[in-house]
Amino acid sequence: DSGVTQTPKHLITATGQRVTLRCSPRSGDLSVYWYQQSLDQGLQFLIQYYNGEERAKGNILERFSAQQFPDLHSELNLSSLELGDSALYFCASSVEGLAGVDEQFFGPGTRLTVL
């Protein structure tokens, strides 16, 4: 158990819908990362938040957005869902993630299926 929790574990929805994935980082970790794992694209970095502020952005679609709240939990919002958005979404957390090696601890992931 990495200490990072993600809910829900599984999510099945229809095209055009909107969903919210939730992540609680390890106690004391200030950085949260979101990654997408799909058969087509592999494991891709989406976005990083540090202490409530967006820190780095990857190949995140405009239909996707994220935020980190004052209690440091984070949510990833996916809207106008398409079949291709079906994937495993990981959240990871680290102490800082600003510079230097800072191990990222991964949550168990949320499996999103878009029908």
Partner 1 sequence: AQTVTQSQPEMSVQEAETVTLSCTYDTSESDYYLFWYKQPPSRQMILVIRQEAYKQQNATENRFSVNFQKAAKSFSLKISDSQLGDAAMYFCAYLYNQGGKLIFGQGTELSVKP
Binder to partner 1 among 5, 20, 38, 44 (CB under 8 A)?
44
Binder to partner 1 among 29, 90, 112, 114 (CB under 8 A)?
90
| DSSP assignments along 22-72, one per residue | EEEPPTT--EEEEEEEETTTEEEEEEEEETTEEEEE-S--TTEEEEE-TTS
* Residue 46: Cβ within 10 Å count: 20
Smaller CB separation from partner 1, 35 or 78? 35
Contact residues toward partner 1 (CB under 8 A) are: 2, 31, 33, 35, 42-45, 48, 50, 55-56, 58, 88, 90, 92, 94, 97-104, 106, 108-109, 111
